[in-house]
Amino acid sequence: GSEVSEWLNIPSVSNVKKISKVESDAITIEMDLPEELEIAKVQYPCLLSVDKDIFQPRLPSYVKKMDTADREIEVYSLDDMEDKDETHYGLNGSPTQVKRIFPPTANDHHEVWDGDGSEVADKLFHMITDMKFI
């Protein structure tokens, strides 16, 4: 997602867990980050990379199955493409090559802070000071 958005010169957001609100000029999303759940409003155009379980398709109804039973499924191959160079498609055509994958350490600890802005800012300041980030 990030490389595609960079190529398109648009902002990208990763780890999208939920799309909360869609407006004419922006979209509000929830991101599932390792240490927190973040809510953000992103202006269009943008590219969203979503979690695999953001959309669970429903099984089609009997009526929908009957309406679509006679439709043909179109299958495309390299011969159908205008560019027939197979190095431009699939894994070989991808600008990203993965050398090694390893799972991150699991950490399900989340904190939700309540209070007014100054209380939360003070708590955050003390936390990052204690952790020696500043």
Task: Show the beta-strand stretches assigned E in the chain.
Answer: 12-22, 26-32, 37-43, 47-50
The residues near 32 (Cβ < 8 Å, ≥ 6 apart) are 15, 16, 17, 51
Nearest to 25 by CA among 42, 38, 3: 42
CB of 15 closer than 8 Å to CB of 33: yes
Q: What is the pLDDT of residue 53?
A: 75
26-32/37-43 β-pairing: antiparallel
User: 43 pLDDT band (50/70/90 cuts)?
Assistant: very high
What is the total count of domains within the chain?
A: 1
Domain limits for position 41: 2-130
pLDDT band (50, 70, 90) for residue 41? very high
- Whether pTM > 0.85 for this model: the answer is no
Which parts of 9-104 fold into alpha helices (H)?
62-68, 90-93
CA 20/CA 29 separation, integer angstroms: 5
